[in-house]
Amino acid sequence: MSTERFDKAASEWDTKPRRVQVAEKISAAIGRLPLSQEMDAMEYGCGTGLVGLPLASAVGRLTAIDTSRGMLDVVQEKINDLGLKNVHPLCCDLLAEEYAGKHDLIFCSMTLHHIKDTTGLLRRFTELLNPGGYLALADLVTEDGSFHDPSAEGIRHHGFNPETLKDLLIDLNMGDLTSEIIHTIVKEEQNNREYPVFLLSGRKAG
């Protein structure tokens, strides 16, 4: 996936109120999982940390991974400003590079629709989860392609059917799978068209 667009957009990423609101809703929903200071967590596609950084105090360690160095530069600035000691940014493509970390929680937000090989990434997530570890995925429910601007690059999927993702995860040894609509994005510029956002979470078998 090309990162040039995200590198250029990083410095102004947090200036979009709608984007910040979505991140707050997703972060709050993930925060309802049984998090603890014993957890080693990883966020994939962390962007500027809008979802992950508010959760940092609830876990022991957070590895914030993205393929955009521009986004990670913003994350590092926030880490410095907030004085966070347990968050570690990392530039890595899990589908193309070696990564040996093991985690008790892996989460990603509005990232899957940028990933062509969804099944491959879900497989990597489950490989990197410790037994009993939690996985949380937030993204758009299947839409007709109108959510993103026609000029947007790197859109591989127009949302997902959570039930389809559940079936994939069942095949990958995940259980306790639940999905819920945690937010609805309303686009006033499209006659108040609604785009639901789901959170799908589950636990790796022990």
Do 116 and 144 meet the contact criterion of CB atoms below 8 Å apart? no
Domain over 4-204 is classified CATH 3.30.420.40: no
Residues in the chain predicted with pLDDT less than 70, given as ranges, are 1-2, 5, 7, 10
Domain extents in the chain: 4-204
pTM of the model: 0.94
SS3 41: strand
Write down the pLDDT at residue 8: 74
Do 119 and 163 meet the contact criterion of CB atoms below 8 Å apart? no
**Model confidence over 19-75: pLDDT tens digits?**
999 999 999 999 999 999 999 999 999 999 999 999 999 999 999 999 999 999 999
Spatial separation of the C-alpha atoms in residues 171 and 60, rounded to whole Å: 29
